[in-house]
């Protein structure tokens, strides 16, 4: 995952948590709604000015926009899907883990 993808996901998540439309955010940030759509669609490279405007609109520090959710950062660190899957199901109860493994096995069997 690249930085634009992470930033787009973060902006969209914060906007939705604040029950704002893209138009509301554009208005509050003094930006064009097309720019908001582009950032959330993970296209282009937002400027530092855009980040500052978005942070002001969200009433957070600009650095907070770059403090991506642990899940997104964690997914970037995996070299293989086996370790990622293991860590994703580790917090589940044993019977829940077994259900997930069974589902994955079923999906894999249909792909062969």
- Domain residue spans of the chain: 3-65, 78-110
CATH number of 3-65: 1.10.260.40
**Both structure tokens of 80:** 């293989």
**Both structure tokens of 63:** 């650095």
Reported as a single tens digit per residue, the pLDDT across 37-88 is 999 988 878 899 999 999 999 999 998 888 776 545 555 555 667 777 777 7
Nearest to 73 by CA among 17, 13, 7: 7
Q: What is the enclosing helix (H) or strand (E) of 63?
A: helix 62-65
Across all residues in the chain, what is the average pLDDT? 85
């Amino acid at each position: 995952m690249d930085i634009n993808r992470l930033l787009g996901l973060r902006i969209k998540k914060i906007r939705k948590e604040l029950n704002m439309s893209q138009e509301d955010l554009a208005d509050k940030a003094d930006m064009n709604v097309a720019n908001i759509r582009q950032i959330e669609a993970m296209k282009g490279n937002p400027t530092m000015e855009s980040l500052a405007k978005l942070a002001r609109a969200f009433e957070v520090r600009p650095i907070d926009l770059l403090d991506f959710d642990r899940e997104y950062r964690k997914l970037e660190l995996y070299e293989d899907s086996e370790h990622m899957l293991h860590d994703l199901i580790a917090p589940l109860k044993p019977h829940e883990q077994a259900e997930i493994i069974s589902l994955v096995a079923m999906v894999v069997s249909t792909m062969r």
